[in-house]
Amino acid sequence: MKIEISNVKGVSIAEVISDKIVINETQDALDIMAESGYLGSTKIIVHEHNIIPSFFDLKTGIAGDILQKFSTYNVQLAIVGKFAKYTSKSLNDFIYESNKYGRIIFVSSLSEAIERLAK
């Protein structure tokens, strides 16, 4: 795993780069937040394929545990992926509400993630 920092419109944005799943549990997310913070960013981009699939099954509680940490530590997160494949009404409602408030956003492209985080 590598974390790349970009400066967009004066805003530091960290992007997690990996071909593997790097967030399997809450501690992994905390480690990414800590490293990104050390590198000077409180705005993080993670790709869907870097997150354990059970994250997207809200019944497991993994998403709630992880995303609560981002809120607690005032870190903004963009998750980039193809979310239309998820048929869970509760997940789709969660994505909608998250995108509305902007602390945690679910987007379909890296460029959209960067644009939203750079505001």
Could you report the per-residue pLDDT of 52-106, keeping only the tens digit for each? 999 999 999 999 999 999 999 999 999 999 999 999 999 999 999 999 988 999 9
Residue 95 has a pLDDT of 95
Identify the structural domains of the chain with CATH numbers, from first to last.
2-117 (3.30.750)
| Pair 117, 76: CB distance under 8 Å | yes
Q: What count of Cα atoms within 13 Å lies in the side-chain half-sphere of residue 62?
A: 14
The pLDDT of residue 40: 97
Alpha helices in 6-61 (DSSP H): 26-38
15-52 pLDDT, tens digit each: 999 999 999 999 999 999 999 999 999 999 999 999 99
